Amino acid sequence: MNDESENNAEPSPGGSERSIGIWAAGTVIVIVLAVLMTRPDWVKGMVKALSGHRYRAPSKHSCISNLKQIDGGVQEWALENRKVATDTYTFADTNLMKYYRGSTLPICPAGGTYSPGKNVASAPRCIVPNHTL
Q: Please identify, using beta-carbon distances, which residue of 83 and 91 lies nearer to Zn ion.
A: 91
Minimum distance from residue 73 beta carbon to Zn ion (Å): 16
Report the alpha-carbon distance of residue 79 to residue 75 in Å, rounded: 6
Handedness of CA 52, 53, 57, 60 (dihedral sign): positive
Minimum distance from residue 55 beta carbon to Zn ion (Å): 14
Q: Please identify, using beta-carbon distances, which residue of 83 and 131 lies nearer to Zn ion.
A: 131
- Which residues in this chain contact Zn ion in the complex, by CB under 5 A? 63, 108, 112, 126, 128, 131
Minimum distance from residue 121 beta carbon to Zn ion (Å): 21
What pairs with residue 126 in β-bridges? Answer: 114
Q: Please identify, using beta-carbon distances, which residue of 61 and 118 lies nearer to Zn ion.
A: 61
- Run of H or E residues at 46: helix 40-80
